[in-house]
């Protein structure tokens, strides 16, 4: 395994590959993404520890979607058990993936906790779905300060975990080492990942504008609202599909394994 330096235009290619691969197996990949969302939702409902449990499982669940994408790109039909790939690769790697999940949960809690120091927890409650934002709340300087602090802290956290699950699963990296190399890879290829993010932002904008325009042309704004949510879910599943290709080009093709 080696760390490749990627041209900025690869960010566009990753988006294209993700969308193209999704449409090779749309039912399987969309279904797996919905299962992924369901697992996160059910885990978060566990009393007392629900949110922490969901955050702990997130790296493993994300890895499952990457394995599914690899299978789809190889012409295979990914089955539901692929979401458990992180825990079927052996006891040592399963333990490492759980440690990675705990580290992510702790990092997220610290990040959201620090934002609470700025506005008393208003942003955290909105972000976690425990409160409905009002216009007055959003315009509050303390709310905006908490939001930008969270974004500023969560970005490096996300980059640390971008490739970490795949490095643990396919290359047997220890959790801390995987975090270091994930952050290094994203920083060394900053422009490729920036282009990747900007292209997905553009796709999101086009989809929202298209659905909204369609509803307006048909004179049925309610139809746009009904179509927008499933459209965004499908778009999210395509985004997760594209993550595999960022890893593939940055670190090379994963070694041949059962997954």
**How high is the pLDDT of residue 259?**
64
Q: Give pLDDT tens digits for 15-55.
A: 999 999 999 999 999 999 999 999 999 998 888 788 899 99
Give the pLDDT band (50/70/90) at residue 72: very high
Q: Give pLDDT tens digits for 88-100.
A: 888 898 999 999 9
> Would the pTM of this model clear 0.95, i.e. be above it?
no
Q: Is the pLDDT of residue 257 over 60?
A: no
Q: Give pLDDT tens digits for 194-223.
A: 999 999 999 999 998 888 888 777 777 677
Which long-range CB contacts under 8 A does 119-124 form with residues at least 24 apart?
119/143, 119/145, 119/146, 122/146, 123/147, 123/150
Do the Cβ atoms of 250 and 188 come closer than 8 Å? no
Q: What is the average per-residue pLDDT within 251-258?
A: 78
Do the Cβ atoms of 167 and 182 come closer than 8 Å? yes
Q: Domains of the chain: which residue ranges?
A: 10-251
Q: Is 132 left (phi over 0), alpha (psi -120 to 50) or beta?
A: beta
Residue 81 burial (CB count, 10 A): 10
């Amino acid at each position: 395994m080696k760390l490749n330096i990627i041209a900025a235009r690869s960010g566009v290619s990753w988006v294209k590959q993700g969308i193209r691969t999704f449409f090779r197996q749309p039912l399987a990949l969309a279904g797996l993404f919905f299962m992924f969302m369901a697992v996160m939702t059910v885990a978060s409902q566990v009393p007392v520890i629900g949110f922490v449990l969901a955050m702990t499982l997130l790296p493993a669940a994300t890895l499952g979607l990457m394995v599914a994408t690899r299978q789809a790109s190889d012409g295979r039909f990914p089955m539901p058990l692929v979401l458990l790939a992180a825990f079927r690769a052996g006891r040592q790697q399963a333990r490492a993936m759980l440690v990675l999940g705990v580290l992510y949960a702790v990092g997220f809690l610290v990040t959201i906790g620090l934002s609470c120091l700025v506005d008393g927890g208003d942003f955290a409650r909105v972000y976690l779905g425990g409160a409905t934002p009002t216009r007055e709340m959003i315009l509050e300087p303390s709310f905006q300060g908490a939001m930008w602090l969270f974004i500023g802290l969560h970005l490096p956290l996300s980059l640390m975990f971008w490739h970490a699950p795949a490095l643990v699963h396919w290359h047997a990296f220890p959790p801390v080492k995987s975090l270091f190399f994930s952050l290094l890879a994203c920083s060394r290829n900053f422009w490729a990942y920036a282009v990747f993010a900007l292209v997905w932002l553009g796709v999101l904008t086009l989809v929202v504008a298209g659905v909204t325009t369609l509803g307006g042309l048909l004179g049925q704004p309610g139809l746009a609202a009904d179509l927008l949510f499933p459209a965004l879910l499908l778009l999210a599943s395509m985004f997760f599909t594209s993550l595999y290709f960022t890893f593939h080009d940055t670190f090379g093709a994963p070694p041949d394994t059962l997954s």
